[in-house]
Amino acid sequence: MGGGLWAWGRNHLGQLGVGAGLFWQSQPLRVVVAGQALTWKQVSAGESHTLALTTNNELWAWGTNESGQLGSGAATIVSTVPVRVPTPTTCAPGTQWMTLAAGALHSLALRSDSTLWSWGEGADGQLGNNTTILSSTPMQEDTKGRWRLLAAGGTHSLAVSTSRVYATGSAEYGQLGMGNTVRALRFKTSQASPLTAQQHLDNSVRIFPNPAVDLVYITGITSSTLLSIHDLQGRIIRQTEMIALPLDISHLPSGMYLLNLLQADGTRFKQKLLIQH
């Protein structure tokens, strides 16, 4: 679909992002932003709101905003079309949004410097900011850690730093994995088994689209990642340090290639890439 985003299903609170007038939709409709030619690379659906990330790392949201989960800071209760999530003034200069997760009534996102930001409902501590109040704009979680992965549940949040799993929010059903039902207001170490570096890297890196035509996007890596492109005979076709995205592969002939990513900590990720011009 060339980076297009499509939505269908219930739309009573604008969660499809296709405008007002539709209570539900049984066929896919394209999500568009008036006056802008946006392409999308990631999307996450909450209970009645949606988050999406464009290919140039802009973060957009739509649907219900009753708990501030759109992150726009506006008093609007519902937005039936995408609204841009502003970059907090406290973010490090030059950083960008990299990945996201929508919970029931809250939202999470990582910046390119591995900081974690949260907004929306915080009554159970799911924002990880050591309070139980909601926030209508993104706030950095309280530990100010460096994170690699994140996930948002109904009233709890999970994050991975290095190889440890952390959790915050409601523990009514033991969902924090801490061996009790005591809620947490900030990210604390879960009893989940530590992940090896290789397992973590394999789960966090995404290479898309695949097959590709001219451009490839790679998420879940740092600027110190060394990329090697090999042909199927093992010969290195290109080698570069990953700093700017996307990766231009328009000069490579159509065919199958192997991408080899080497992180600064020695972990590797390999994936085959099909190029079809």
Contacts (Cβ under 8 Å, ≥6 apart) of 36? none
Contacts (Cβ under 8 Å, ≥6 apart) of 56? none
pLDDT tens readout for residues 42-93: 999 999 999 999 999 999 999 999 999 999 999 899 999 999 999 999 999 9
pLDDT tens readout for residues 107-134: 999 999 999 999 999 999 999 999 999 9
Buried b / exposed e across 12-46, counting CB within 10 Å, b at 16+?
ebbbbbbeeeeeeeeeebebbbeeeebebbbbbeb
pTM, two decimals, is: 0.72
pLDDT tens readout for residues 11-49: 999 999 999 888 999 999 999 998 888 999 999 999 999
Contacts (Cβ under 8 Å, ≥6 apart) of 105? 46, 47, 49, 66, 67, 69, 120, 121
Helix (H) or strand (E) holding 202: helix 197-204
